[in-house]
Amino acid sequence: MLDIPRPLSVDVELLLAAQNDMGVCDAKGQYAPGGIPSDQRAMNAPHLPKVAGIDPSSSSVPAPAHTAAPDCAPTPATPAAVIQDRLAGWVSDLTTLHELTERLTRTTTLEDGLRELLRAGAALVGARRGFVVLEPADGLGPDTLTGLGLGRADLGQIETVPRQGTCYGRLLDGTLAPESGQGGIAQPDLLADEHLDPRHRAVAAQLGFAASYAMPLGCEGGRLGAAVWLYDEPAEPVERQRHLIGLYARYASEHLARLVELERARTTTATIAEELLPSRLPRVAGVQLAARHRTGPRGGGDWFDALPLPEGALGLAVGSVTGSGPSAVAAMGRLRASLRAYAVMEGEDPVAVLSDLELLLRLTEPARSATALFAYCEPRRRTIVLAGAGHSPPLIIGERRTEFVETSLSAPLGMLSCWEAPSVDLSPDPGETVLLYTDGLLHRTGDPMDRAFARLHAAAASVPKALRDDPGAIADHVLRTVLPDGLDEADSNEDVVLLAARFE
Strand-pair category, 287-294 with 129-134: unpaired
Where exactly does CATH 3.30.450.40 map onto the chain? 108-270
**CATH topology assigned to domain 277-503:** Phosphatase 2c; domain 1 (3.60.40)
pLDDT value at residue 179: 61
Q: Distance between CA atoms of 473 and 437, rounded to whole angstroms?
A: 15
pLDDT value at residue 382: 93
DSSP H or E stretch at residue 158: helix 152-159
Q: Distance between CA atoms of 479 and 476, rounded to whole angstroms?
A: 5
pLDDT value at residue 222: 85
The model's pLDDT over 91-150, given as tens digits with 9 standing for 90+, comes to: 888 888 899 999 999 998 999 999 999 999 999 999 999 999 999 988 888 999 999 999
pLDDT value at residue 297: 66
SS3 content of the chain, % helix, strand, coil (to 5): 40, 20, 40
pLDDT value at residue 52: 36
Closest CA to 371 of 457, 474, 495, 460: 495
pLDDT value at residue 35: 39
Q: Which CATH superfamily is domain 108-270 in?
A: GAF domain (3.30.450.40)
In sequence order, which residues have a C-beta less than 8 Å from that of residue 263 and are 6 or more positions away? 109, 110, 142
pLDDT value at residue 116: 96
Using omega within 30 degrees of 0 as the cis cutoff, is the peptide bond preceding 33 cis?
Answer: no
pTM, to two decimals = 0.63
Q: Give CA separation, 11 vs 27, 47, 75, 500, in Å.
A: 14, 21, 23, 78
In sequence order, which residues have a C-beta less than 8 Å from that of residue 440 and are 6 or more positions away? 294, 300, 302, 320, 492, 494, 495, 496, 497
The three-point CA angle 51-57-61 to 5° equals 65
Where exactly does CATH 3.60.40.10 map onto the chain? 277-503
The model's pLDDT over 324-373, given as tens digits with 9 standing for 90+, comes to: 777 888 888 899 999 999 999 988 999 999 999 998 888 888 888 899 99
DSSP H or E stretch at residue 100: helix 79-105
- Could you say which residues of the chain have pLDDT below 70? 1-77, 177-183, 297-299, 417
pLDDT value at residue 64: 37
Q: Give CA separation, 179 vs 53, 182, 183, 184, in Å.
A: 29, 5, 7, 6
What's the half-sphere exposure (Cβ side, CA atoms, 13 Å) at 223?
20
DSSP H or E stretch at residue 338: helix 326-346
pLDDT value at residue 503: 95
Residues counted in the chain:
504
pLDDT value at residue 2: 38
Closest CA to 403 of 439, 435, 371: 435
